[in-house]
């Protein structure tokens, strides 16, 4: 099944940005690990937060979906009703955090996931957990999913993690560390990429009453045995999801308003706002209405620009789509972590945009894809079939890139928007984007949105 998307001449309107997936997932975790009742207002409901909820239910948490909030009856330290097999599906964060939490248990627990997750790097996390006393083993070998925790528990001590593969390793240990028998110290080797995600974790833990400290460079952490406290949390907007709407707004002159957006986010992907300003797009926050207005004048997206994406990896595909229309060049570096995501995102975007006629070059650092340089144009012929590589962020970014081409394009992977942005197609339909489901062999079936 493919989605055929017609090009548009203008993009404007008022849109609602989904709630933050990282904030929702972290709040579900702290609510599960606390004793008592926690509430998460304005939670994001998508496949990956559903996977987190189901994993936490496997630990014994009772999670109810109310109108506008989640209500969680936590399990505290007891977790006496944990299931023997916990499913993480395709979520790297769920697998990594649940694996760390399972290592605290004194009973055997298997943590598994789907085929895409089984190919992702897990060895540094497993080695760190073993250093803290866990008896944990990869069932298929190669230190990848699925894994089994044999129930030795988590003693505490010191572990080491690399900073340039995934910040989720640090997050996973931080969530489990308060439940260890003794203090836990984490030492990170090398530079910490995606530091904003670690800061979000630290903020969640501190708000839940956990005794945790971190060095300014986020390479050293100390966690004392402590108990999670129940709390009420309100999540904010998701800037990665907002980036697709903002990029589309930047491709066409006009005015676009995003509702429920605040200017003081901890998310690294909020960098999309200053990046667009550098590209000549006018953006203004209105605190009174919690909105962000985009006024895009004719003549924007011109010049030579460089972006460091070390703290905003999830918008690397968005930037590639945007760069296709920068008259001059857009050079993005620091995206090496994206090769460990659901797809190797730099190579995927370069391959698909090249197929569409875009002049894009992959940039390497020590032989590793680290970014790209795009020399954009005003438009492209279109009329091509582009692959999402099984990655929802690749699909959404290519979708945006296709809007300014001259002919309709076809995309695989439209169903994957449910992972993080379930209303993606509906939001764009509200701007007049026509998307039609077609069979691979040219038979049209139905319009979407």
CA distance 43 to 39: 9
DSSP-based three-state secondary structure for 125: helix
CA distance 206 to 448: 43
State yes or no: 335 annotated in a binding site: no
Q: Report which of 231, 132, 147, 237 is spatially closest to residue 185, judged by C-alpha positions.
A: 132
DSSP-based three-state secondary structure for 226: coil
State yes or no: 92 annotated in a binding site: yes
Give the count of beta carbons closer than 10 Å to the beta carbon of residue 240: 26
Question: Which runs of E-coded beta strand occur in 190-326?
Answer: 212-214, 220-223, 228-229, 232-234, 254-259, 282-286, 291-296, 302-308
Contact between residue 297 and residue 252 where contact means Cβ atoms under 8 Å apart = no
State yes or no: 345 annotated in a binding site: yes
State yes or no: 74 annotated in a binding site: no
State yes or no: 302 annotated in a binding site: no
Bridge partners, 73 (sequence order): 37, 62
Interhelix angle 123-131/167-176, rounded to 10 degrees, is 30
Question: Which runs of E-coded beta strand occur in 280-337?
Answer: 282-286, 291-296, 302-308, 327-333
Cis peptide bond N-terminal to 146, omega within 30: yes
353 φ/ψ angles, rounded to the nearest 5 degrees: -65, -35
Q: Which residue has the tokens 């560390």?
A: 177
Edge-to-edge strand ranges of the sheet holding 85-87: 85-87, 109-112, 147-149, 136-138
CA distance 167 to 360: 28
State yes or no: 407 annotated in a binding site: no
State yes or no: 26 annotated in a binding site: yes
State yes or no: 19 annotated in a binding site: no
State yes or no: 393 annotated in a binding site: yes
Contact between residue 56 and residue 40 where contact means Cβ atoms under 8 Å apart = no
Binding residue positions for 3-phosphoshikimate: 21, 26, 166-168, 194, 341
Binding residue positions for phosphoenolpyruvate: 21, 92, 120, 168, 345, 393
Binding residue positions: 21, 26, 92, 120, 166-168, 194, 341, 345, 393
């Amino acid at each position: 099944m493919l989605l055929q998307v017609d090009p548009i001449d203008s993009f404007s309107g008022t849109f609602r940005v989904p709630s933050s997936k990282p904030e929702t997932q972290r709040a579900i975790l702290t609510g599960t690990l606390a004793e008592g009742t926690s509430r998460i207002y304005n939670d994001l409901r998508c496949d990956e937060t559903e996977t987190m909820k189901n994993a936490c239910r496997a630990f014994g948490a009772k999670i109810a979906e109310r109108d506008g909030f989640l209500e969680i009856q936590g399990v505290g330290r007891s977790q006496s009703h944990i299931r023997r097999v916990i499913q993480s599906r395709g979520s790297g964060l769920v697998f990594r955090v649940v694996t760390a939490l399972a290592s605290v248990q004194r009973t055997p627990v298997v943590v598994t996931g789907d085929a895409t997750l089984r190919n992702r790097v897990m060895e540094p996390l497993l080695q760190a957990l073993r250093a803290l006393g866990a008896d944990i083993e990869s069932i298929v070998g190669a230190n990848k999913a699925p894994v089994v925790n044999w129930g030795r528990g988590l003693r505490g001590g010191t572990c080491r993690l690399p900073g340039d593969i995934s910040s989720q390793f640090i997050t996973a240990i931080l969530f489990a560390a308060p439940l260890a028998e003794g203090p836990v110290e984490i030492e990170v080797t090398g530079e910490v990429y995606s530091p904003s995600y670690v800061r979000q974790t630290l903020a969640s833990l501190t708000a839940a009453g956990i005794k945790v400290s971190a060095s300014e460079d986020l390479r050293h952490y100390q966690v004392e045995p402590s108990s999670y406290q129940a709390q009420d949390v309100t999540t904010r907007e998701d800037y990665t999801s907002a980036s697709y709407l903002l990029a589309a707004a930047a491709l066409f002159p006009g005015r676009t308003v995003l509702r429920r957006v605040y200017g003081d986010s901890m998310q690294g992907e909020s960098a999309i706002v200053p990046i667009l300003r550098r590209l000549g797009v006018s953006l203004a926050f209105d605190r009174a209405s919690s909105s962000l207005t985009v006024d895009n004048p004719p003549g924007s997206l011109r010049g030579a620009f460089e972006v460091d994406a070390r703290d905003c990896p999830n918008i690397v595909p968005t930037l590639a789509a945007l760069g296709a229309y920068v008259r001059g060049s857009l050079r993005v570096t620091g995206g090496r972590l994206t090769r460990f995501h659901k797809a190797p995102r730099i190579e995927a975007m370069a391959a698909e945009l090249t197929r569409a006629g875009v002049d894009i070059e992959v940039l390497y650092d020590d032989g590793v894809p680290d970014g790209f340089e795009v020399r954009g144009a005003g438009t492209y012929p279109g009329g091509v079939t582009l692959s999402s590589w099984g990655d929802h962020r690749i699909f959404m970014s290519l979708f945006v890139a296709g809007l300014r081409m001259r002919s309709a394009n076809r995309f695989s992977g439209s169903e994957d928007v449910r992972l993080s942005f379930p209303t993606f197609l509906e939001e764009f339909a509200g701007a007049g984007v026509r998307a039609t489901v077609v069979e691979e062999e040219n038979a049209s079936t139905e319009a979407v949105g």
